[in-house]
Amino acid sequence: MDVFLGPRGHLYTWTYAHFPLFGSRRADVGGYGVGQVDLPEGPRVQAVLSGGPGDFRIGMEMELELEVLRENSKGEEVVIFRFRPAGGPGGAE
């Protein structure tokens, strides 16, 4: 049975990686958030978070967004998903 997962969940835990690596390339940012998000459908998903180290609190609502990582040789966008605090930085209560 297929279960379609919605774009929202709650933050189970998080961290903020301070080294400027993003996979195999140097990121143009000072660091990035990483978290685990509990989806209401059941799974816990680990993903990159957008926002700064002061933006995350365990239990806060998160929503999914897509980020373009690069273009492949055919000119197609390679995207990954990441989560951000729902309602923008600081999050919705």
Partner 1 sequence: MKLEGVSVIGVGMTRFGAYRDRTLVELAREAGLRALDDAGISLRDVGEAFVGYMQATPMAGIKIMKEFGLTGLPVTHVENASATGLIAFREAAHAVSSGRCNVAMALGFEKMTELASGSGQGRGVGRDSIDSVILPAAYFALWAVRRMHERGTKPEHFARIAAKNWNAGARNPWSHRQADHRVTIEEVLASPKVAEPLTAMMSCPVSDGAACAIVARKDLARRLKPDRPLVVPLSSSLQTETYTRGHTFLGPVVGPPSMTRDAALQAYEEAGLGPSDVNIALVHDAFANEELEYYELLGFCSPGDAEKLLEAGETEPGGRIPFNTDGGLIARGHPGGPTGLAQIHELALQLRGEAGVRQVEGARVGLAHLVGGGSVCTVNLLRRE
Q: What is the contact surface with partner 1 in residues (CB under 8 A)? A: 12-19, 21-25, 34-36, 38, 42-48, 53, 58, 69-70, 78, 80-81
Q: Find tokens 């929202």 and name the residue.
A: 8
Q: How many CA atoms lie within 13 A of 38 on its CB side?
A: 9
Report the residue number, 49 or 86, with the smaller CB distance to partner 1: 49
Q: What is the DSSP string of 46-83?
A: EEEE-S-TTS--TT-EEEEEEEEEEE-TTSPEEEEEEE
Q: Least Å distance between CB 87 and partner 1?
A: 21
Question: Is residue 34 within 8 Å of 47, Cβ to Cβ?
Answer: yes
CB of 31 to partner 1, least distance (A): 8
* CB of residue 48 to partner 1, shortest distance in Å: 6
CB nearer to partner 1: pick between 6 and 70: 70
